[in-house]
Structure 1
Amino acid sequence: MTQNTSAPLAGIRIIDLTSAVVGPYATQVLGEYGADVIKVEERSGDVIRWICGRSPTPGMPGKFLHMNGNKRSICLDLKQEEGRQALLKLVDTAHVFLHNMRPAALARLGLDAETLRKRHSPLIHASIVGFGSKGRYAGRPAYDSILQGGTGLASLFATHGAEPRYVPYVVVDRTAGLMVANAVLAALFAHQRDGAGRTLEVPMFESFAALLLSEHMYGHTFDPPTGPLGDQRLLDANAKPVQTRDGYVCITTNTDAQVKRLFEALGRSDLANDARYATSLARIEHVSEFFSARADVVRQFSTEELMERLLEHDVPIMPCHTLDSLLQDPHLRDVGLIENDTHPTQGAIKRIKPAMSMSGFQAKLRHHAPHIGEQSTEILRELGYSPADIENLFNRGIALAHKPDPSSRPQ
């Protein structure tokens, strides 16, 4: 693996016992900053390998590839003592141990924070849990859809009589993944100052509930309440993409000046000067009328004409993309977000590059997303195992190494 010594996290080793989305997404971000992420998998591998569609060779679907670059995979049977000992040797070399196992299962394996930090005190032990350990839901299983419902997100779609529904994107997992990455970065920063380890717990339910409530607690922030729960600008039935003559656009006007320029750009100075829409507080009181008036005007124009007029007047607007049209967006092509690449076993792929930029550092792909146990031999060798010891672990099923099948390789 090529080490980028200018990377912010160069020299930081992260042991990743997570699966699915929240943990792998967090470590994907940390890997992009240069951390050496070692993905520890059981024989069946990360569940996301098998529930996200077909791939040229088994267990390598697109979603897995997009969340597991810059990682190395070692496959160990942690239920066997020698497999657990290999993991403990690996932990001894690490700065961060990250998992999303349930606490009881973690304790049975002796991988809980108290045990590991007694062995390796500088360790940052990070737990991703569905529900915080101090509450009555502690230890329950949780997936993104469970938490979309449990936090009230799904019910927001039912505000105007529709049925509750899930956002078609694992928004709780992805958001919690960023929170995990932030917490690990903060712990690493603190470690640089005092050399001490840390024990972290990131509960997904509470984390997302806090975000949603900060958006929608609204008048109930005060005691007694000054108004109802819910930001009506977001919950109104017309708070959605606006239909044009030939499609849909997304328009947001938060300032009084933007609202004035919107209606003037569309030839409706009468609405620009309407007292119901002229100020922010007035628009809150008349939000449904404002959205309806806007929709009535917008549908008279084509998407192209709207884009031209509103951009000329500095009004925020974007076309309402489909997944297909997003891939063709000219700005994304300008910045090179998606590039053609070749995976060693999956052949030609489209790779999503990191969007952030940082002076003095260019995020690079150091290693493609791995097969289960693809680097088992390499990592065991780094831990001091001899070739004979490694072969013995493989023969006894304590460790597994990926062996490419030439017949299944893409042409």
Structure 2
Amino acid sequence: YGATFASQAGPMGYPRALSAWRKPFATRDGHICVMPYTDKHWNDLLVATGNAALAQDQRFQSIAARSEHTSFVYETLCKILAEKTNAEWLALFERLQVPAANINAPEDLQHDPHLQEVGFFQHIKDDAMGNLCFPGVPVLFDGKRPPNRIPPRLGQHTEEVLNEIAVEST
């Protein structure tokens, strides 16, 4: 977009991604992310939310039309989603098979069902600091996630390292 082709004139960036309306959507009790990409997603969403007339609106009929009218499309979705709670919307979108997810506040993350199910948070007991909770290591090695561990204390390995390199400690 914009400068992909040397002879192309136009603004930089993908217009759909740059729309001020394309962001997490406010609901009655929080925010959700909704990604109705296909024509079926949009039609089902609009009909199920009582907006069947909009489902027939040319601006919602195809990806090309939705892209051309991005701000209108997402502003409309913003107004629709403000009417119900996250739980109500997520239940509907799951039934419609429209991708959607709750937007968590940081303090809600440790109680998120998916993060709990995948063991995202790891609990460590440290003699000096007590019980700690850390996000798990985000990669797998040989199919396993390495455990989190407490970093060494200041000076904890000094003697060992100095002995390894044959330097006398003072």
Q: TM-score, normalised by structure 1?
A: 0.38
1:296 alignment partner in structure 2: 79
- Structure-1 separation of matches of 2:134 and 2:27: 33
Which residue among 142, 157, 162 is the counterpart of 1:375? 157
Contact 2:138 2:145 in 1 (8 A): no
CA spacing shift, 1:377–1:229, aligned 2, 3 Å? same
Number of equivalenced pairs: 170
Kindly state the Cα deviation for residue 240 of structure 1 after the two structures are TM-superposed: 1.9
Q: Determine the C-alpha separation between the residues in 2 that align with 1:326 and 1:233.
A: 29
* 8 A contact 1:265–1:310 mirrored in 2: no
1:202 aligns with: none
* 2:61 corresponding residue in structure 1: 278
* 1:14-29 alignment runs, 5 A limit: none
Tell me if the contact between 1:266 and 1:309 (Cα under 8 Å) persists in the aligned partners.
no
Where does residue 325 of structure 1 map in the other structure?
108
How many Å apart are 1:257 and its aligned residue?
A: 2.8
Deviations 1:122-147 (A, max 9, x none): xxxxxxxxxxxxxxxxxxxxxxxxxx
Sort the Cα spacing of 1:222 and 1:236 in 2 relative to 1 into closer, same or farther, 3 A.
same
SS at match of 2:33: strand
Contact 1:343–1:349, Cα closer than 8 Å, also in 2: yes
Which one-letter code corresponds to 1:376 in the other structure?
A: T
2:99 counterpart of 1:316: yes
Shift of 1:308: 0.4
Written as runs of structure 1 = structure 2, the 5 A alignment for 1:227-376 is: 227-357=10-140, 360-365=142-147, 367-376=149-158
SS of equivalent to 2:101: strand
Offset of residue 367 of structure 1: 4.5
**Structure 2 Cα separation of the partners of residues 278 and 226 of structure 1:** 27
Q: Offset of 1:380 from its aligned partner?
A: 2.9
Structure 1 stretch 374-383 or stretch 317-326: which is displaced more?
374-383
- Listed one character per residue, the Cα deviations across residues 23-65 of structure 1 (whole Å, up to 9, x for unaligned) are xxxxxxxxxxxxxxxxxxxxxxxxxxxxxxxxxxxxxxxxxxx
- Structure ranking higher on relative contact order (CA contacts 8 Å, 6+ apart): 1
Residue 323 of structure 1: how far off its partner (Å) = 0.7
Give 3-state SS (helix, strand or coil) of 1:331's partner: helix
| Cα root mean square deviation, aligned | 2.1
Q: Secondary structure at the match of 2:20?
A: coil
Any conservation in 1 of the 2:60–2:66 contact (CA below 8 Å)?
yes
In structure 1, what residue type is equivalent to 2:164? E
Task: Report Cα offsets for 1:299-328 as digits up to 9, x if no partner.
Answer: 222221111000111111112211111222
Shift of residue 226, structure 1, vs aligned partner:
4.4
Alpha-carbon distance in 2 for matches of 1:367, 1:258 = 44
3-state SS of 1:342 partner: strand
- Gaps of at least 5 residues in structure 1 are 1-217, 396-411
Instruction: Return closer, same or farther for 1:367/1:350 CA change in 2, 3 Å cut-off.
Output: closer
d(CA) in 2 for partners of 1:321 and 1:350? 18
The question of whether the paired residues in 1 share the 8 Å contact of 2:136 and 2:148 is answered with no
Percent identity over the alignment? 28
> Is the contact made by 2:21 and 2:74 (CA closer than 8 Å) also made in structure 1?
yes
Q: Is the 8 A contact 2:122 2:148 kept in 1?
A: no
**Secondary structure in 1 aligned to 2:61?**
coil
Q: CA deviation at 1:245?
A: 2.2
Distance 1:274 1:326, change over 3 A: same
- In 2, Cα distance between equivalents of 1:301 and 1:268: 14
Q: What is the CA–CA distance in structure 2 between the aligned matches of 1:366 and 1:314, rounded to whole Å?
A: 36
